[in-house]
Amino acid sequence: MDVETVKERAGPREFSPADDMPEKYRKAATRMIQFHANSEIMGAYLEKPFIRQAPSIDRKLAFSAKVQDEIGHGQLLYRAAESLGIKTREEMLDELANGEGKFLNCFHYPMDSWAEVPMIAFFVDGAAMRRQATLKSSSWEPYAHAMDKVCFEEGFHVKHGEDIMARMATGSRKEQQMLQDAFDEWWPRIIQFFGPTDDKSTHHDFSAEVGLKQKTNDELRNAFLDAYVPKAKSYGLEIPEYPRIEEVGDGQYHVEEDDLDWDEFFTVSKNEYEPGKGQIDARKAAQEAVDWVRDTIEGDANLPGSQAAPAAD
């Protein structure tokens, strides 16, 4: 199948591993899904320390389940990417550990306070749902099927994050101020979650033409603002002065994109941001820490006469 045929046939869940896809499509889909999988893994690593910091046993259990979900999403997406035949799951994990794998800007920044948890669990996961709901119609069928499960579970994550935020927003003045301070810091990063503006996006056109993506970055960003600016205000949060958010219609909002630090964003996207390097190093250390387990399993499985099962992924 050539690229022009793919463009003509492109539609929701149209293509599967049984189709002989052109290399350009397979590379574009692999890049997109690998980025998504990396982001799920790095998001889990960012949030994992807060399992211990959760203020109650119920919060610890819920947050532990959330982190487990995110790791599971990453593994599911690596398999969807692997089905394109460009890279193996192991190669993608190695690239992530070595600083070659790209992931979402929000997960390059460290988190220090429990008040920052709803910034990820409500706002970032809410933004993710905006994008992921459209990907259930992606033309690569394994990716779209993965999104069915991911979106179902992310819906719970958003509700969990909203519950944490509601508790803080109705708590003590100190808690309310901590929440506002966290919001002030994270709000620009959250708006940049959807990637560069359409005029600076280098991958959208082809991905849209072959049905991998359904909406542009700006369309998703504006839809998010329309939904989440009122939600933020409903919990008593004040929208920061910068970046400037203008109401351009009845319930419609637009961000002054020049107010956003796009230089920092592109530094982050190249894995050149110092805090982000720390996140990557932590991931590499974690992967190396369990290498002996894989080596032992594989070694036992390869012993002459061994009845050991093949090494688990």
60-82 pLDDT, tens digit per residue, is 999 999 999 999 999 999 999 99
Residue ranges making up the domain that contains 232: 3-298
Domain-located, residue 265: yes
Residue 95 has pLDDT above 70, yes or no: yes
pLDDT, tens digit (0-9, with 9 covering 90-100), for 217-239: 889 999 999 999 999 999 999 99
* Mean pLDDT calculated for residue range 9-30: 95
Is 310 part of a structural domain of the chain?
Answer: no
pLDDT of residue 301: 63
Q: Report if residue 309 sits inside a domain.
A: no
Q: Is residue 303 one of the residues assigned to a domain?
A: no
Would residue 305 count as lying in a domain? no
136, part of any domain = yes
d(CA 190, CA 185): 10
- Flag whether pLDDT at 311 surpasses 80: no
Q: What is the mean pLDDT of residues 254-273?
A: 84
Band the pLDDT of 280: cuts 50, 70, 90: confident
Number of domains the chain is built from: 1
Band of residue 306 on the pLDDT scale cut at 50, 70, 90: low
Would you say residue 255 lies in a domain?
Answer: yes
Residue 313: pLDDT band (50, 70, 90) is very low
Check residues 201 and 15 and name the one with the higher pLDDT: 15
Span 190-214, pLDDT tens digits? 999 998 887 777 777 899 999 999 8
Residue 306 forms part of a structural domain: no
CATH number reported for the structural domain that contains residue 112 in this entry:
1.20.1260.10
Q: Which pTM was predicted?
A: 0.87
